[in-house]
Amino acid sequence: MLEEADIYMRIDTSKYPEGKDAVNPKRVRRLKILSKVATIMCISMYISYIPEIIANFSGSPVSPLQPLVAAVNATLWVAYGWTKTYRDWPVIISNLPGIVFGLVTVITVYIH
């Protein structure tokens, strides 16, 4: 029987089942493409805070509510991706910028 520590220390080798349980290679390819596109879009969403940060420094502060909620949401998703049995790197990588840009946006609202 596996110990709890063994379960959390496993690494996803990206090997898919073979034989009768095999995953269709086309499905695997589509999932990898979807993962990459979703990661790029998520990072782009958080990078879009840059104009709001600039507006904050320019003396036209934005509401801090949405970027604060986005930062909390991104933190929760990073925690989820990190604590899964296998690290979910697309979820982690795509949400890390949300923590940074969300918090920077909130902070710059108050220090403009």
Residues 76-88 pLDDT 10s: 999 999 999 888 8
SS3 27: helix
Confidence bin at 63 (pLDDT 50/70/90): very high
Pick from 81, 79, 84: nearest CA to 39: 81
* Domains of the chain, each with CATH number or no CATH: 1-111 (1.20.1280)
The whole-angstrom separation of Cα 36 and Cα 42 is 10
User: Is the per-residue pLDDT at 9 higher than 50?
Assistant: no
Tokens representing 48 are 């879009």
The whole-angstrom separation of Cα 90 and Cα 79 is 13
**H or E stretch covering 103:** helix 89-110
Distances 77 to 55, 56, 87, 97 between C-alpha atoms, Å: 27, 26, 12, 12
89 in Cβ contact with 78 (< 8 Å): no
Q: What is the pTM of this model?
A: 0.74
Q: Which residue has the higher pLDDT, 25 or 60?
A: 60
